[in-house]
Structure 1
Amino acid sequence: MLSTRRSRVRAAAATGMAAVVVAVGAVTFNASAQEVQAAHPIPSPNPTLAPPPGSTKVAEVHVQKGTQTYTCAGGVFGPTSTPEARLVGQGGPIHHFAGPSWQSERDDSLVTATRIAAGPPSPDAIPELLLGVNSHTGSGILSPVTHIQRLHTSGGVAPTRSCTDGETASVPYDATYVFWAAP
């Protein structure tokens, strides 16, 4: 009887251990699948905003908290703004600020970029963009980046009210930033 109980306990322990091994294997497989997926470009919602063919995704981050700040000139806000945002996600956290600049909070690597293409205007959101990186500083996650997409935008549009020259207005916004390295 005691021998039978021990056999059942051993069998249960072995089954539990097998479940742990299977679970760990599934996590490893899922991580590998994510790594493979990250190595292939994701389709852009707008083909004019796609990175060069063969580009590799370096990081994808989302605005955790961000604003676009506009300065009044000639009684109106805009058309340009200064970003201030904390981005989080795969590759984050990243600080996005004037320049426009993006700096990794993990390794201090930094890039600046300029607009290559913009999506169609929207009255409710800043435009989606494709940007080309024009400078690199430091060594780290952003070092290989050549292109940045700003996608899935909401908010951040300049106020339409009248204003006094020099007055500023910070408008909350949301977006996803995808960082790409050329092939």
Structure 2
Amino acid sequence: MLNTKRSRVRALAGIGMAAVVAGIGTVTFNASAAETAPVAPAAVGADARAVSIPGIAAAIKPPKGSRPIGAYVVTDGTQNYTCVVAAGAATGGYTAGSTPEAQLVGTGGRIHHFGGPSWQSLRDKSLVTATKTAAVDKAGTIPELLLTINSHTGTGILGKADFISRLRTSGGVAPAGTCTAGQVVKVKYGAVYVFWDAPAAA
């Protein structure tokens, strides 16, 4: 049973990573020709910096010169919403922001994504938190984002990350309709997260 579950997770991760690298031009930010060459999916595990990244809208691109240091796909994730009820009202709506709870798999192993928002490597326990810098709305799904990392714990896989892109989103949208105080709804979602090492300020 355990081996079957692990096989399924690896298969999902492979599909997600293939989506990151398959047939899409590499995102480049003042990179050399050697750095912009597409890479075969088999090379992803060997060198995270060589991952080809999905097309990124101009509004959410990381700074020029940024290098990807890891790409991860959500294998099991929800956006969790708590009902907001105005004072004196009997019912409310899921109008506040969501809290993520997700497991990611990618170039650096497994990452736990949770409230903060925070990302923690399960391999070396390095941890980052971030704030939203820019967003691009998408119909029927949560938006794609650029997030700026504002704190680091540890010096492992995530130690050099400065920005995070949330790309290829699906699902995760808050339900419509009314709810009562204290109700929490968990909405499944998918995404690819890319961690970037930005150039030092001049």
TM-score higher than 0.5:
yes
Distance in 2 (CA, whole Å) between partners of 1:76 and 1:87 is 29
Which residue does 2:112 correspond to in 1? 95
Between the aligned partners of 2:52 and 2:154, the Cα distance in structure 1 is 25
Corresponding position: 1:171 with 2:171: no
Contact 1:79 1:158 in 2 (8 A): no
1:53 aligns with 2:64: yes
Residue number among 154, 170, 193 corresponding to 1:138 in the alignment: 154
Residue aligning to 1:15: none
Once the 2 structures are TM-superposed, how far is the Cα of residue 161 of structure 1 from its aligned partner?
A: 2.0
Q: Which of 83, 96, 100 is residue 100 of structure 2 equivalent to? A: 83
What is the aligned length?
154
SS of equivalent residue, structure 1 residue 80 = coil
Deviation at 1:69, TM superposition (A): 0.3
Counterpart in 2 of 1:106? 123
- Aligned CA-pair RMSD: 2.2
Closer/same/farther in 2, CA of residues 182 and 77 from structure 1, 3 Å limit:
same
2:44/2:50 contact within 8 Å kept: no
CA shift digits 1:20-43 (9 cap, x unpaired): xxxxxxxxx986698678358746
d(CA) in 2 for partners of 1:49 and 1:149?
8
Which residue identity lines up with residue 173 of structure 2 in the other structure?
V
| Residues 128 and 152, structure 1, Cα contact 8 Å, conserved in 2 | yes
Q: Is the 8 A contact 1:137 1:143 kept in 2?
A: yes
**How is 1:17-96 mapped onto 2 (pairs within 5 angstroms)?**
38-39=49-50, 42=53, 44-74=55-85, 75-96=92-113
Alignment match, 1:118? 135
Misfit runs of 4+, over 3 Å: 29-37, 39-44
Change (3 A) 1:177 1:121: same
Indicate if the aligned counterparts of 2:84 and 2:96 stay in contact, CA closer than 8 A. no
TM-score by length of 1: 0.77
Give the unaligned 5+ runs of structure 2: 1-39, 86-91
The answer to whether the 8 A contact 2:76-2:102 is kept is yes
Q: Secondary structure of 1:38's match? A: helix
Q: Structure 1 residues 137, 65: CA separation in 2 closer, same or farther (over 3 Å shift)?
A: same
8 Å Cα contact 2:44-2:51 kept in structure 1: no
> Residue 127 of structure 1: CA displacement?
0.5
Partner amino acid, structure 2, of 1:102 = W
The one-character-per-residue Cα deviations of 1:8-61 (angstroms, maximum 9, x if unpaired) are xxxxxxxxxxxxxxxxxxxxx986698678358746431111111111101000
1:4 corresponds in structure 2 to none
Q: Higher strand fraction: Structure 1 or Structure 2?
A: 1
Q: Distance in 1 between matches of 2:79 and 2:44?
A: 36
The 5 A counterparts of 1:2-13 are none
Report the identity percentage.
Answer: 53
C-alpha separation between the residues in 2 aligned to 1:91 and 1:147?
16
Which has a greater percent of helix? Answer: 1
